[in-house]
Amino acid sequence: MEANIQKAVDIILNSKYTIAFTGAGISVESGIPPFRGKDGLWSKYDPNVLDLGNFQLNPIESWKVIKEIFYDFFGAAKPNAAHFVLAKMESMGLVKALITQNIDNLHYEAGSKEVYEFHGNSRMLVCPYCSKKIVAAEIDLTKMPLCNECHAVLKPDFIFFGEGIPEMAYRKSFEAAGKADVVIIIGSTGEVYPAANIPPLAKHKGAKVIEINPEKSLFTETITDIFIQGKASDVMQKLLNGINQKI
Ligand code: NAD
């Protein structure tokens, strides 16, 4: 077993409260590109589509693009091995909570239960006026969706640029980070705030930081104790194999 995988396995098996912190990178192997970078979504689409003011001014045009990216495209994605290993580790009692910046619902689809969705979830739509929530898959998105109570334009239940973090997810994420003795960061650049404050808070309170990413991130040189360079699905399967060999 590679030395750093071995070290990570020992740390996880000796931990009382391991949390995972995931970013867009964990879903890349499910076919969802990150926002930024050469093949990122913003190389094809205008990020303005997620600007709240733009959405309110141009709802019909915005919904055409939102449907294409977040419902036709994200909607077809399935969890990959990394999502499944995290769910398995939770069921084994080795991961206590999972904080995700992703909005693609793939952690729940893989079977994870204690998931805090820091940026919301695309699976639901919400009425900005009466707060009613509707399952996106149950309505026709070929035309702009309207609330059947107050007729306002429905918005995906994830946060647009400039919107606040959902209160419950925010509180639970920082509480979990405060309790954690190990954080596994998977596929995050650490550039998006306030989410990027979560792993450093845990580190500050004494947690060990294991990071999985094919590239270095803003966390790597600052808070990471063990950097495992590689793709999420490959590394997570090796971690699980290592754990299974030791228990
Ligand atoms: P990011 O887009 O800033 O960075 C992605 C990271 O993933 C990079 O560090 C990259 O090196 C790494 N990566 C690429 N392929 C990988 C792989 N196979 N395995 C592991 N890591 C890999 O991601 P971020 O830090 O999460 O921030 C972007 C923001 O965009 C977040 O707020 C998130 O909500 C949102 N977003 C979500 C999704 C999604 O729900 N799947 C997709 C795109 C963007």
Mutational pocket test of ligand 1: of 21, 22, 29, 35, the residue with most ligand atoms within 8 Å of the beta carbon: 35
Q: Using CA positions, which residue lies closest to atom 23 of ligand 1?
A: 24
Interval 94-144: pLDDT, tens = 999 999 999 999 999 999 999 999 999 999 999 999 999 999 999 999 999
Closest CA to 209 of 189, 231, 224, 192: 224
Q: Report the side by side order of strands in the sheet with 18-22.
A: 115-117, 97-100, 18-22, 182-186, 208-213, 226-229
Gap from CA of 187 to ligand 1 centroid (Å): 6
Query: Is the Cβ–Cβ distance between 33 and 41 less than 8 Å?
Result: yes
Superfamily of domain 33-76+122-158: SIR2/SIRT2 'Small Domain' (3.30.1600.10)
Res. 216 pLDDT band, cuts 50 70 90 = very high
Q: Is the CB of 29 under 6 A from ligand 1?
A: yes
Multiple choice CATH, 1-32+79-119+164-247, 2.60.40.10, 3.40.640.10, 3.40.50.1220, 2.60.120.560:
3.40.50.1220
Residue of 17, 50, 1, 24 lying closest to 187 (CA atoms): 24
Per DSSP, the residues of 163-192 read PPPPHHHHHHHHHHHHH-SEEEEES--S-S
Residue 118 structure tokens: 């820091």
Residue 27 Cα to ligand 1 midpoint, Å, equals: 7
Structure confidence by residue, pLDDT tens digits, 6-33: 999 999 999 999 999 999 999 999 999 8
The C-alpha atoms of residue 14 and residue 125 are separated, in whole angstroms, by: 41
∠ Cα 174 179 182 (to 5°):
100
Q: How many CB atoms lie within 10 A of CB 72?
A: 10
Which residue has a Cα nearest atom 28 of ligand 1?
Answer: 24
Q: Is the pLDDT of residue 227 over 80?
A: yes
- Residue 128's nearest CA partner among 53, 75, 195 is 53
Cα–Cα dist 38/232, whole Å = 19
Is pLDDT at 37 greater than 80 in this prediction? no
Atom of ligand 1 nearest to the CA of 40: 2
Contact 98, 115 (CB under 8 A): yes
* Confidence band, pLDDT 50/70/90 cuts, at residue 49: confident
> For 70, which DSSP code?
I
pLDDT at residue 42 in the model: 86
* Reported confidence tier of residue 36, pLDDT bands at 50, 70, 90: confident
- Residue 1 has what pLDDT? 66
Q: What pLDDT score was predicted for residue 162? A: 82
pLDDT at 196: 98
Tokens of 165: 């973090």
* pLDDT digit string, tens, across residues 132-184: 999 999 999 999 999 999 999 999 999 998 899 999 999 999 999 999 999 99
**CA pair distance 236, 25, nearest whole angstrom:** 13
Ligand 1 probe mutation, 99, 198, 213, 228, most atoms within 8 A of CB: 213
Q: Which residues are catalytic?
A: 119
Q: 59-82 pLDDT, tens per residue?
A: 999 999 999 999 988 888 999 999
Judge whether residue 200 has pLDDT over 90. yes
Helices then strands (H, E): number in the chain? 8, 9
Cα 237 from Cα 184, distance rounded (Å): 14
pTM, to two decimals: 0.96
* Domain ranges within the chain, ordered by starting residue: 1-32+79-119+164-247, 33-76+122-158
Residue 196 CA, closest ligand 1 atom number: 25
- Cβ-Cβ contacts under 8 Å for 93 (sequence gap 6 or more): none
- Tell me if 239 sits within 8 A of 12, measured CB to CB: yes
Query: What SS3 class is residue 32?
Result: coil
